[in-house]
Structure 1
C-alpha cells in the first residue's frame, strides 16, 4: 500500500484526506514513479468541488494531480528509454497527489539535474497546454495574442513559448504581477472595467487571437470583440461560456493528439538555453493539499503551487 490525498465526495477543500491505496503495478507502456513533487492546477479544485462533473466525473475516492516529478521505480512491458532510478517529470490523468503514481511513458521526460523537483513538477501541464493552445489557435510569428490569466502556471509558460515563436503577447493580470509579465516579454494590462480600451492602447495594431485561461467574467465576449471573430478565441477554462458564445473549448481531454513530447522538448530547450522561468507561488508539503487548494481557488497567482512528497 501507499499513501495518497483524495476526496471521497465533492465539496470544499476540507473533504481532502489521506488514504491508503494499493501500490500500482505498471502495465504495458507505463512507468511507476516515486513522487517527489506534484503541481497544483485549477482543474484540481474544480474537479474536487464537482464543478467539472459533467466533463470529468470523479470515481470516489478520487486522487487529484495531473503533473509530477520523481524517480522511476518500475517500468511495464514495451517501455523503452526509461529505467529504475531515472529522474523524470510528466503528466498524468489524475493520481498525482500520492507517494507513488503511474504515468504513460509517452507523457514522461528525463529531468535534467539542473532542474529542481519543484520546478520540474511545474512544467507538464503548463507546457502541454501552451503547446496545444498555440497550435489549436494557429497563432503565427508576428501576430499578437491576448492571454487572460497570464501570470498563472499555464500563462507563465505560454508567454515564454510564444516569445520563442516570435509572437507578441498582451497579458491580463493584477497590477502586482505586471513586472513579472514584463520579465517574460509580455505587455501587461490590468483586468476589470475598461479592459478593452487598455488592450487597444497596448496593441494599437490590433489583437489577432485570444486565449482564456481564467474561465471567469466576461472575457469571452470581450475577446470576440477585440479579435473580430469567435473562431479566433479559445478557452481552456470555460466550457459553459464556450457553448454560450460559440468559442472553441479545448481542455486537453479530446485524446486526438498528444502534445506532451513536443511541449517537453520546447521547455527543455528553453531551460538548456538558460531562459526558462518557472516561478513557484507556494511550495507546501503534500499533507497541506487542502491549503494549496484554498490558495489556488483565491487566484491572483504568480507561477505554480507545488506540493512536495
Structure 2
C-alpha cells in the first residue's frame, strides 16, 4: 500500500510502498476513502524535533478487525481519529475512536464533520451559551471554525461574529450564517461578545479578550499558545478556559458519543453543512499542507487515497 512519510523536521513529504498493517486487539483496519488534514499535524511536520506518523481524521470501510472488537465488523463504514499512520491507503483505527457513518453521508462528509465538529461543539458547550447571546468565533473559515459558526446558531446565539485573517473570506463566513465578519487587524471587532471560541491563540488572545462584554467567557482550543493578562480579566470580570477534546474522549465517553449523535442529527436536518475547501490525492499531500499553512482554506482540506 501507499503511505505518506517524511524524514526530517520541515522535510518534504513523499510516498512510500509498505505492507498493509494488521489490526491488533481492539483495532480496525480501514480502507481509507478520505483523510482530514488538521493544523496540529501540519505543525508537527514543521516543528516537531523528530519525524512522527502523520495521523488524523480518516473515513472508509472496515476490511479487518482485531481481537476483542465488538461494535464493528468488516464492511462497516466508519470515521475516527487515527493516531498512527493515517495518510495511507489503509490505516488502523482504535475501536473506541470509531464512529459509524450513516448511509446518507459520504466519507468526505464524515471527515469534514465529525472530528472538527466535536471540537467545535465541545468548545461551544464549554462556553455555556445562553439563548440570545452574541458569539465570537475566530478562525471562522477553518475546518473547525466554520462548523462553530453554524453550531452557535443551533445553540441559540442571537448574533454571531466571525473573525478571519483575510477579508476575502467574509462572503464564505456570511454564507454560513454569521451576522458580521471582521479581520484580526480591524480596530473594531463589531462586538462586545458574550462568549468567544478561539482557535488561533498567540497574539490574538489579547484582542479576543478585549472583545468580550463584562462577564464574558473565552474558550481557547488552539495549539498556538499565547498569554492573557490577569488584569484584563479582572476589570471586566471575564474568564478564559481551555478545551481539549481528547480529555472528553478518555474520561467522558458517554458525552463524547452524545455529541457525535447530535452532529449527525444536525447534519441530517440540514442545520450544519460541512464545507470542503479541496480534495487532494495522497501524492499531493504537501500541497494540501500548504493550503493549511497559508490559512487559505475555506472549510476542510481532505486527502482522497
The TM tier, using the shorter chain, reads 0.7 to 0.9
Q: C-alpha displacement at 1:71, in angstroms?
A: 0.4
Partner residue, 2:237: none
For 2:271 and 2:216, locate their aligned partners in 1 and report how far apart those are by CA, in whole Å: 32
More displaced, 138-147 or 298-307?
138-147
For 1:18 and 1:136, locate their aligned partners in 2 and report how far apart those are by CA, in whole Å: 40
Task: Name the SS for the 1:208 alignment partner.
Answer: strand
C-alpha distance after superposition, 1:29-82 (max 9, x if no partner): 3211111110112112111111xx4xxx75x4x231310111001122332331
Alpha-carbon contact 1:231-1:248 (below 8 Å) kept = no
Partner residue, 1:203: none
Query: Map of 1:1-309 to 2, 5 A cutoff?
Result: 2-11=1-10, 14-50=11-47, 53=48, 60=51, 62-167=52-157, 168-173=159-164, 174-195=166-187, 197-200=188-191, 206-216=192-202, 218-227=203-212, 232-242=217-227, 247-254=240-247, 255-258=250-253, 260-309=256-305
C-alpha distance after superposition, 1:269-300 (max 9, x if no partner): 12211333122111110110011111110113
Task: Name the SS for the 1:15 alignment partner.
Answer: coil
Q: C-alpha displacement at 1:265, in angstroms?
A: 1.2
Alpha-carbon contact 2:201-2:225 (below 8 Å) kept = no
More displaced, 157-166 or 256-265?
256-265
Aligned length: 292
RMSD over equivalenced CA pairs, Å: 2.5
For 1:231 and 1:19, locate their aligned partners in 2 and report how far apart those are by CA, in whole Å: 50
Closer, same or farther: CA 108–244 of 1 in aligned 2, 3 Å: farther
Q: C-alpha displacement at 1:119, in angstroms?
A: 2.0
Alpha-carbon contact 1:37-1:307 (below 8 Å) kept = yes
Q: Unpaired segments of 5 or more residues in structure 2?
A: 234-239
Task: Name the SS for the 1:232 alignment partner.
Answer: strand
Alpha-carbon contact 2:65-2:73 (below 8 Å) kept = yes
More displaced, 236-245 or 63-72?
236-245
Q: C-alpha displacement at 1:252, in angstroms?
A: 3.4
Q: TM-score, length-normalised on structure 1? A: 0.84
